[in-house]
Chain A
Amino acid sequence: MKNPVFELKDIHFSYMPGGADVLAGLDLTLFEDERIAVTGPTGAGKTTLLQLMVGLLTPFSGTVNAFGRERVSEKDFREVRARTGFCFQNPDDQLFCATVLEDVAFGPLNLGKSRDEALAVSLETLDELGLENYENKVTYRLSGGEKRLVSLASVLSMRPDVLLLDEPSNGLDDYHSDKLIEILNSINKTIVIVSHNNAFNEKTCGNFLRLENGQAKPAISRGTGH
């Protein structure tokens, strides 16, 4: 049996104290090298779940275990974030540097890589995603799909152990979507994908969860859409 990387137990969460629960008694275990696709209706709490996993939100009750330890404080989660790449639903939230290269190198530099190492890993990641010659482009002038790819690159360049991807195939054409599938399948990593795109999920993930009524239930791959 492989080790669990993330273990969420009986998580309760709502955005407003006393408000409706977004997550109500959610359990989730993510094993090493496991790939889970999470589906669920709009507003079911999928993004919320990912944010709880990296400590951007704190559950009202329940525990979050990551990389073999219970994580509570901001300091605990800093360690988690260094090993977990989280790609946001909206790339505009993620990209803030002037040029693509700076944005992709931001993570590696924060992780303590030297300038040359960071540059090398960034260029390599851009190449992998088919973004050669993008390094000096200005981020806010890219198209929606290009921004999506760059925000993926900015996460992949940190070479994380676990990837959390929120709607990664949104706004990508077939070519880049296939390319992304290929890349995700070639990096043998633990991945959680939140996506409404069933074809994409089936090509990348082995396990399927459906988030509904604040809980996550195993789902079979076909017909998990809504």
Chain B
Amino acid sequence: MIFSDFSDRNSMVHSLDPRTRIVSCFIFACAVSQLSSFAALASALLLSLVLFIFSKITFREVSGRLLALNIFFLFFFLSLPFSGQGKDSVDIGWAIIDKEYFLNCCRALIRGNIILLLCISLINTVDILTFAQALSSIRFPSKLVHLMMFTIRYLDIVHCEYLQIKRAVIARGFVPHMDMHTYRTIAGMAASIMIKALDRAERVNAAMKCRCFDGKFYSVKKFALRRGDLFYISLSSLTVTIFIWGEFF
């Protein structure tokens, strides 16, 4: 599954109530997006790293995602600082760099990484069904919950179909080259993935109907705030308050 690879572990983060994780992730992300001083950003980064380490996920498992995000930001660094005509321009010999734009890029980079780490350690440790149930139990509109849940579910199905077809093609000795046969095979693969995924989605839906699914998710899990949650909530509220305080006053 793409979405919830890390939900089946045991860690301090996993033992938190899913609702606590989801809400705190949202609040942290909002707070982080408002931070601009580098001291605050650095400490927020440190905190998100701590959370990440507590969730017992290793960097290797998420290196792909981190890399993708940072490559995305690389493009900002390659374009924005050179485009400005600001007051604080610094001449570094072969180019003129706008200091303010450069610093903004740095802030965005740090914020992006913080939020990604937060999402990985707080959201990716909740599996889809629990996620949906947690959202409905905090009175999130049920239509949105369903939409999200099925989007995730079907994305996952498309991904599975892709892996399956890839295996089938490789098993029959396909090696990509720059030729017509390769293009035709890849086009065929893409079409077949979409069609198979649609079919699959229909069958999953049929199977859910057979088990009397009527649009409401019931849960065997009972959500309960434990002492750990309360501790975590008070600690994180304090942190957010300090950050906001430091930023605005």
Contact = CB atoms under 8 A, between A and B. Distances in A.
Interface in B1-52: 1, 4, 7-8
Given A82-B212, A110-B213, A154-B211, A98 B4 contact: yes
Contacts of B208: 96
B153 A105 contact: no
Interface stretch (B71-79, B98-106, B218-226, B241-249): B218-226
B230 interface: no
B229 interface: no
Nearest to A113: B218
B211 A107 contact: yes
Given A107-B212, A118-B220, A93 B207 contact: yes
A101 to B, nearest CB: 6
Interface string A11-30: 00000000000000000000
A86 interface: yes
A115 B212 contact: no
B200 to A, nearest CB: 7
B29 to A, nearest CB: 24
A90 B127 contact: no
A109 interface: yes
Contact of A102 (B129, B200, B203, B211): B129
A187 interface: no
Given A81-B212, A110-B212, A140-B1, A94 B207 contact: yes
Contacts of A119: 220
What's the dominant secondary structure at chain B's contact region? Answer: loop
Contacts of A96: 153, 204, 207-208
A99 B220 CA distance: 11
B7 to A, nearest CB: 6
Interface in A97-141: 97-99, 101-102, 105-107, 109-111, 115, 118-119, 122, 138, 140
A101 B222 CA distance: 14
Given A93-B204, A97-B129, A98-B4, A54 B210 contact: yes
Contact of A158 (B127, B153, B211): B211
A56 interface: yes
A140 B7 CA distance: 13
A110 B214 contact: yes
A101 B203 CA distance: 21
A109 B207 CA distance: 15
B210 A81 contact: yes
Nearest to B127: A98
| B153, B200, B206, B214: residue with the most chain A Cβ atoms closer than 10 Å | B206
Contacts of A106: 211, 213, 218
Interface string B192-208: 00000000100110111
Contacts of B204: 93-94, 96
A78 interface: yes
Contact of B222 (A85, A115, A138): A115
A102 B133 CA distance: 12
B203 A78 contact: no
B8 A102 contact: no
B209 A56 contact: yes
B114 interface: no
A108 B172 CA distance: 43
Interface of A: 51, 54, 56, 78, 81-82, 84-86, 88, 90, 92-94, 96-99, 101-102, 105-107, 109-111, 115, 118-119, 122, 138, 140, 154-155, 158
Given A101-B220, A109-B219, 9 more contacts: A88-B203, A93-B200, A98-B130, A102-B129, A105-B220, A106-B213, A109-B218, A111-B212, A119-B220
